[in-house]
Structure 1
Amino acid sequence: MSALEGAFLYFKYIGFVVVNDEYRIDVSDTVVTLNGKTERDLKSSFGVELRYIEPDKYQFIFKSGFHEFLNACPGVGELANMLPSCTQQLSEFLIIDEPDIGLAIAQDTLYNDALLLILEELAKYSGESVESLFDLIKVQILRDLNTILMRDVDDFSLSLGEHTLFESRNRERTLRIESRNSVKVAELSDIKRIICDEKEDEYEVLKKERWQAHSNTKMYSNTGLNYTKYHVGEDKRLDLFEYVYKSQTSTQEKCLKRTIQRLV
């Protein structure tokens, strides 16, 4: 159960939302060795529309950038780089809210002709089955939909302000909840000291700068940061989601960012 769940008793929305929404999703993933060699440098951006068909049924439609979405899928990305331009075709997924398992993609989505063509090409390159590749894609789609619907953040009840959720010598998790002009904002900062042979680290510096560290280019030696933020509008729907992971050790720097923004 996510620690951010506590922030969103304020934001819980009961009932059927009938307004369709469009979102822009941006992903960047960079790994650089400390000798300057770039091991990974991924940037992708894609547009999706969420259509509310019934209280327990949704259509998740790629309006643009489906090829870039595939590039950002772990286990699929490198293969997607080999695909022809057919991946520019729009793809739609029917998602059902199952009582026992939660959100699930309808299996007949697999037989969408455009998607099936893409997966068959991927299967040729990888040796994986179409079904296993479809599963990799499903994980990413359902993760984004769970985020948009705020399914993981609606059970706890915490007051406005800052809350220390966990604290030890080498790790600290802090939740901050604010209300800004009818917009509810919850931020979770999870920082840790990376234990290694080096005695020096900047863990204490990161603690002091926890609420700024996600947005600056500064790296903190031998530390790791997980930062998550939700903006929820007056209509109780997600306006903006941000996730940042950044770490630095004696061998490499990592920085992963993912944003989901509702388009007006």
Structure 2
Amino acid sequence: MAKSVVIIPTYNEKENIENIIRAVTDLKEGFHILIIDDGSPDGTADIVKKLQKEFDDRLFMVQRQGKQGLGTAYIAGFKWAIERKYDFIFEMDADFSHNPNDLPRLLHACESEGADLAIGSRYISGVNVVNWPIGRVLMSYFASKYVKIVTGMKVFDTTAGFKCYRRQVLETINLDAIRFKGYAFQIEMKFTTFKCGFTIKEVPIVFVNRVLGTSKMSGGIFNEAVWGVLKLKLRSYFKKYPQKNAA
């Protein structure tokens, strides 16, 4: 049984899915992969099924009906991974904006450097984003700064979606109480991890905008992040968070 699983949510990723699966399975660490496909009409799931014959013991898929949101996809994946007792559980995009070669670095941060959550960070050492329009870079960078100030987290890339969790983090958090479904989900998960007393470490990465397929990013995503973080902070004053290692 592998100790690590990489969760990759998909919606219409037929141009990328085979390449990303092969790139992850080529790594010597022996990562397992869980695809959460939200009923992609372009045949993404069919490609995964074909590849499962080749990687039958390492490649898994959960198929869901229709687009249900990034957050619910990851939570379904987290529950699946917890049930199967994976020690390290990753979040990763299908479109190569996250470099599969950075997976071992995130694993090392958790396995050997004491992190409970390792974040692939675009902003821990300057701004490391390739092929984004400058407006989007600035929006993302200042959104992260804003979240950092409001929440009090010492995290530079608060909206990052490239992460490695120790299983204990996801077992401690009440996943059914996570409210956000879009990109504010990423903020809520980090904030909850922080409030539960877990150690968060940022690992510098270079984020490359997708070359193939269509971006799922929209202005509404940033609105959710801006207003969502205020609600998150306000709710935290009235909420009791389970603590790391609390018996």
* Structure whose residues are more often strand by fraction: 1
Tell me the TM-score normalized by structure 1.
0.24
* Structure whose residues are more often helix by fraction: 2
